[in-house]
């Protein structure tokens, strides 16, 4: 390796890969739904960072465009998950309210 930046970027990509698996574990095993939604958001963010490091390492400009598209899709997925979570939470509250009344 003649470029010290390439070694540093590869090391950062390995650390981000480990972080990705930790977030995946939290998304599957999360004790609450909110933990799962945050983990899915974090997985999207780490994936975007990995794509951007790969773009720098390979010096390919089109990968930056792919990262931007993935960022938009990840944002929409998290918004959709939050809407679903809020709907489930409201339905649960209404059921508890009708039982207590």
Long-range contacts of the stretch 86-92 (C-beta < 8 A, 24+)? 88/33
Q: What's the whole-model pTM score?
A: 0.82
Q: Which domain holds residue 57?
A: 4-100
pLDDT score, position 1: 52
Query: Which residue in this structure is represented by tokens 């599957």?
Result: 28
Q: What is the mean pLDDT of each run of 10 residues along the chain (101 residues)?
A: 82 94 92 89 94 92 94 93 89 87 67
CA distance 81 to 87: 10
pLDDT score, position 62: 94
**Number of domains, the chain:** 1
39-61 tens-digit pLDDT: 999 999 999 999 999 999 999 99
Q: With CA atoms as reference, report the closest residue to 24 among 8, 36, 6, 11.
A: 36
């Amino acid at each position: 390796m003649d470029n010290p930046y390439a070694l540093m970027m590869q090391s950062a990509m390995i650390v981000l890969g480990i972080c990705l698996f930790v977030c995946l574990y939290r998304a599957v095993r999360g004790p609450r739904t909110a933990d799962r939604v945050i983990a899915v958001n974090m997985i999207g963010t780490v994936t975007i960072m990995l794509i951007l490091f790969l773009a720098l390492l390979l010096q390919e400009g089109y990968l930056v465009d792919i990262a931007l598209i993935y960022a938009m899709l990840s944002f929409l997925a998290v918004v959709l998950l939050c809407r679903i979570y809020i709907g489930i939470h409201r339905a649960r509250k209404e059921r508890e309210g009708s039982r207590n009344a």
